[in-house]
Structure 1
Amino acid sequence: MTDFVGLTWDHPRGRHALEAAAGDLGDGDTLRWEVQSLEGFESAPIAELARDYDLLVLDHPHLGDALSAGSLRRLDELFPDELRRRWEADAVGPSIDSYRWGGGLWALPLDAATQVSARRTALVPTAPATWEEALDLADRGLVATSLAGPHAFLSFCSIAVSVRTEAAPADALFDRQTSERALELLTRLSAHAPAGTDRLNPIGLLDRMRDHGDIGFIPLIYGYVTYSSPEVSFGPPPTHDGRIGSTIGGTGIAVTYRTAPTPALLRHLAGLLEPETQRGFIPRHDGQPSMRAAWTDAGVDDAAHGFYSATLSTIESSWVRPRVPGYIPFQSHASAVVRSVVRGDRTPGDALDEIEERFAALPTTEEIPA
């Protein structure tokens, strides 16, 4: 008999389905979940958390540091090949691929999310299709951008994916011209945002859009199905020459190395990815499923006010961040640097020099450390 404990993030989307499915796993095993803030989920060191928990809900860029510390178990060794092949075929976008590193699978993609656009339908009846149209809305004070925590850098990256015209150098995320254009666009989009929105995380921004009505459009924000309604509508981000830029997020469930997973625990985890669970249990408990069977289910989509059909093409083409050791601290620092430019405290050239220098200092290959 084993009493397992997991750590997830404190939002209905992150906890309700996991908590409802937990409890008695069979064979005398039990599972309970504790929670941390969204900010903890985005930046807390996985190696430290892995010493205290059997299961961790994490984002894929944490893999480099987690594996450097030997914190996680390879799921290839815990689940049969046939089951993993089915997940690979059925997961929406790069949801499962983002948790692959060095030939191994390190987390199960329970929740799928990427940056999409959100609009208050009464203020913005038709979503802007291009960045130029979004800038017109920004000049009218109707646009807020997601800048808090790591999101300034993530917004910058997604705009860069959309506007880039050439391949990046080997030691950079993007070529310099693309980075300059992306930083300029993000700065202009943010120039007339409602006061205080630059300090809000995605949940706070969507709360304010829904409850106060002074935000008409957010061009890039991680999609939260729990906010989809006739008043708040989600869709693709603005495009450049028809190209969508979006940085995938979502969550995966990882098994820590301190844990000896039992058959009952593995059956429970696999059951969370079953089609009937993804189409039924997960959405009924405020979750955001990771399997295409749920995203393309008409009933699930109707209950979510069209959230899934409106954002499917965005997640299918979304960009995967690096997973090298040191990426999470780099992302936090780079986001602060981007915010300093948006607020007018630094010049774009100086800021990009620093970001490029720090990125170039990260490991250049995604090899699992020995």
Structure 2
Amino acid sequence: MANIRDVAQRAGVSVSTVSNLLNGRTNRMRPETLARIEAAIIELQFSPNRAARQLKTGQVNMLGLLVPSIVNPSFAELAHEIDIAAKQHGYRVLLGNTYRNQEEERTFLNDLLSQGIRGMIVVSTMTEQSHFHDAIARGLVMVNYDMQTHPDSPERSVIGDSISMDNFQAGKIAAQHLIDRGCKNIAFVTESGKTVSRMNRISGFINAAQQSGLSDHYRIIEGKARSGYGDAEMTELGKALAKTISQQPTPPDGIVAVNDVMAIGLIAGFRASGIRVPEDISVVGIDNTFLTSLVTPALTSVAPPLTEIATVMVDRLIARLDNPAIEVEEFLFLPELVIRESVVG
């Protein structure tokens, strides 16, 4: 199999000249030189690999994206927006689907670094783990989504930018909508794994309930997934929890689900138990995925501005790749309620 040196020899140029072509730096290259290199590439059936692209820059025009599970449509839709934003900068995205498994994450980080990829977006995972710090020490630049840090946390200076929807406000907005529509006994339904975003959503829900005089009329209902944090099991878990809720002596009249997938599972489970949504129980989701308008009733949900979030994440990551001295910042984006048919009134 031909390599970059074979191409250089056939075209009668240096290896660095071939590298310039592979990395799009042809503005000062003579047309005849460019033609010789292109002819040599075709003749030798050369497929440039990542190592060739690293010869001059030390990195490739690719970004890593680590997500817990692409099965969750909120992560899939975010990945889509990140891919679009990256391509506008001439970058492609390498996806790591790691299920919050530390060994999977460690392997993905090592793969990125070995391939010359120096920028990564980490979505909703536990970045305080040592393998993330090790990767940063080895030159990885990180932007973190959905993992807000405390202002005084030492992690801020190490982990990098934190970019997120304001999950506290998301939980509060969802609960307040139920209260405004007349719900008097509300619940937040979630998987028991405590990620930062889930805890912030619960805190916002509790805040709305307490400020509205429902301090004795709200509850947190948790279910345990078979593995991890339930990222790939939310629909089935929602169906199972709906059955449990339907058997309670006094079921809630309004529910905020931790995300849309959980909410859809709840609606399906209530239907199977003979409970009507929204006539008997109102349901609000969070994330506003494409599924919200496809279920019956269409799901009211709290929407993050995904396009804006993805654009800022990619812009910040590339800026930090160009200038690592840029000060670390935290960006919070306000969500909006999208009203559909799953809440009474």
TM-score by length of 2: 0.39
Mark the structure with the bigger radius of gyration.
2
TM-score by length of 1: 0.37
Higher relative contact order (CA 8 A, sep 6+): 1
